């Protein structure tokens, strides 16, 4: 069946992506994309720190290509590293940063970490950001999940599914685990209800106003001419009197 073939291919791609992410560790990796080429499979790794991913003299990439050949039976895997230009607008990188800070410094100042990341994301130019931390290890008597919002965020519809950037991560502590969810609305996202009002040049406005005034004057002159013609038609010539008839 053709459907089974496509499913197997997608499962294999997912397994490769998970293996690459787990093997490279937390080196600022955003996501991994597979691109089939005539020469072989191209694996593009998007990272904010390409130097950490490559390693000394490309050791990490060499090890990764050898393991991909053996484990997943790839003929000619080509690993490429692409740099993320603005890591503050990448949801996965931001989620990994929060998990790293929680594992290193604990959950005492988790609110400060959340607010700091929100300000960084908004200063980078995002339209909106939402951070949700959930877990029993959070120091709170009531709530087991904390949410911080800033800006404008779409919750439903095609924009929320396709265009809002989402990232997930887990902070493994001694007392347990904390889940992290992040949603970011990018700056270049154009909403369907966006309306742009174009400003016209003042010189063009003055020319238009002058044209309107000239047209109004012409219309006024035409109306005056019409009124004069009507008056001349109404006025009849005077009839001759009796004395004038006798003189004739």
Q: What confidence category does residue 183 fall into, taking pLDDT thresholds of 50, 70 and 90?
A: very high
d(CA 165, CA 129): 9
Alpha carbon distance 16, 83 (integer Å): 20
Give the helix/strand (H/E) hosting 41.
strand 41-47
pLDDT (tens digit, 9 = 90+) per residue, 191-237? 887 788 877 666 555 655 566 565 666 677 777 777 777 666 655 55
pLDDT digits (tens, 9 = 90+) for 54-108: 878 788 888 888 888 888 888 888 888 888 888 889 899 999 899 988 888 888 8
The whole-model pTM stands at 0.71
All structural domains of the chain, each given as residue ranges with its CATH number in brackets, are 2-85 (3.30.300.20), 88-185 (3.30.1140.32)
Res. 15: pLDDT tops 90: no
More confident residue, 38 or 142: 38
Average pLDDT over residues 100-129: 89
8 A C-beta contact, residue 80 and residue 45 = yes
Check residue 141 and give its pLDDT.
Answer: 57
CA distances from 136 to 72, 77, 96, 132 (A): 38, 43, 20, 13
């Amino acid at each position: 069946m053709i459907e089974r073939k496509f499913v197997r291919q997608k499962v294999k791609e997912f397994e490769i992506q998970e293996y690459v992410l787990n093997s490279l560790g937390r080196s600022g990796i955003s996501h991994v994309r597979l691109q089939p080429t005539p020469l072989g499979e191209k694996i593009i790794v998007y990272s904010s720190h390409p130097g950490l991913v490559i390693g000394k003299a490309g050791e990490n990439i060499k090890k990764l290509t050898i393991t991909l050949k053996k484990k997943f039976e790839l003929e000619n895997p080509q690993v490429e590293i692409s740099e993320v230009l603005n890591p503050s607008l990448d949801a996965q990188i931001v989620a990994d940063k929060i998990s790293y800070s929680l594992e290193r410094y604990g959950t005492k100042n988790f609110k400060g970490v959340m607010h700091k990341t929100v300000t960084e994301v908004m200063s980078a130019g995002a339209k909106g950001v939402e951070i949700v931390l959930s877990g029993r290890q959070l120091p709170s008597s009531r709530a087991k999940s904390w949410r911080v919002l800033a800006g404008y965020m779409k919750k439903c519809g095609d924009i929320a599914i396709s265009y809002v950037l989402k990232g997930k991560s887990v902070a493994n502590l001694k007392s347990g685990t904390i889940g992290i969810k992040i949603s970011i609305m990018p700056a270049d996202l154009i909403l369907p209800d966006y309306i742009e009002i174009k400003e016209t040049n003042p010189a063009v406005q003055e020319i238009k106003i002058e044209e309107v005034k000239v047209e109004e004057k012409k219309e006024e002159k035409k109306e005056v001419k019409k009124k004069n013609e009507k008056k001349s038609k109404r006025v009849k010539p005077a009839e001759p009197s009796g004395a004038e008839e006798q003189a004739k």
